[in-house]
Amino acid sequence: MTVTVQQIKRISKWNIVSPKGFQAVGVHCGLKHKKNDLALLVSEIPASVAGVFTTNQIQAAPLQVTKQVVYETGKMQAIIINSGNANACTGKQGLADAYAMQQKTAEKLGIDPQLVGVASTGVIGEKLKMETLLAGIDMLQPTASLEGSIQFSQAILTTDTVTKNIAYQTEIDGKEVIVAGTAKGSGMIEPNMATMLGFITTDAKIESKHLQQALASVTDRTFNAITVDGDTSTNDMVIALANGLAENETLTPLHPDWEAFMQALHAVAQDLAKMIAKDGEGATKLIEVEVTGAINDVEARKIGKTVVGSPLVKTAVFGCDANWGRVIAAVGYSGAVIDPEKIDIQIGSTYVVKAGEPVLFSEQQLTDYLKQPEVKISIHLHAGAGTGTAWGCDLTYDYVQINATYRS
């Protein structure tokens, strides 16, 4: 999707409570040693809800609870999130604990438990410290302030080095509509989905079925277009809440401003996805792979994900080595339809391959380019009209160190 600048605008209040009627908070309750580890997001009224969840067949207890709210209730008013413990592979007790989180949060807010989602992130296979966590829920005092949103974005982090927040505004039926998002994710990033949690809020008025349609479409081209290490986690989800307080006419695909809403939603998701890729564990560089001329968009995205996910490509970028052979090899094993004699490859603005054959280039020029914090690889297939972009990061010594000592 091409984002039209005139229709959407990034706003300075880059936080999850920028849309009307949302509040958030994060606290340290004791699941982690010092940092915030418990977060709450609340809508003033029950909101339309959409969700996209991990494809890992082993799914953590919180996912089971939240999927029930999304698919059976179709509305959500709050979501409670803890970090430091994934509550995954914890059996019947883990599921009971997730329901206890839902029930306690509902009691705290005075709402129906079926309007409360649950999310967890952290170490797999350890039981939650429920006494500590439930006492933490009593501490939560959500607000519509910047401070509350910052606390929220901090409390959902695990190995992330930075918080990830963004917001865009657009106009629908002459009303200002804001779409905002917060995410976490640093390792085990191989959607569909990844070890990531994403929360998107909007004050647009839209029914859940159309919000689900919009979120699924956008996710395919954003959150599902990033990779850090090829692992798919057990806990991951993106949840979108739309409470309608902007008071626009109900959005549907036939609404004249549907495209403006889709562009804002896409921009939020894409920015968050790129932040996650850039903040990959131990990463020093964001890698963008743009593919054009594929037989269709799906094939283009497949090639992009394969190239950006290649350990050899990732280490070459880390080492500032313009080893384009690793790129073209990844194109070849991607499983997509290609003609090897038509492939062009650029690193930055420099062609290294044309029509499947090497091109003379300045090694020093490309070495200097590869030292930049963002690296772009362009692949032109000349096989069709399909396009796609994927994002990832380099693979460094620090990635091994972080994951070798994750539990200790």
User: What is the enclosing helix (H) or strand (E) of 288?
Assistant: strand 286-294
Q: Which two tokens stand for residue 323?
A: 């080893």
Burial degree of 277 (CB within 10 A; 0-12, 13-18, 19+): buried
How far apart CA 345 and CA 326 sit, in angstroms, is 11
Give the angle 339-223-296 at the CA atoms, nearest 5°: 25
How far apart CA 379 and CA 327 sit, in angstroms, is 9
Q: Strands 8-10 and 22-27, how do they pair?
A: unpaired
Catalytic, 195? Answer: yes
* Alpha helices for 279-408 (secondary structure H): 297-309, 311-318, 324-333, 363-370, 397-404
Nearest CA to 334 among 374, 272, 386?
386
User: What is the enclosing helix (H) or strand (E) of 132?
Assistant: helix 130-139
Catalytic residue among 66, 90, 195, 227: 195
User: What is the enclosing helix (H) or strand (E) of 168?
Assistant: strand 164-172
Active-site positions?
A: 195
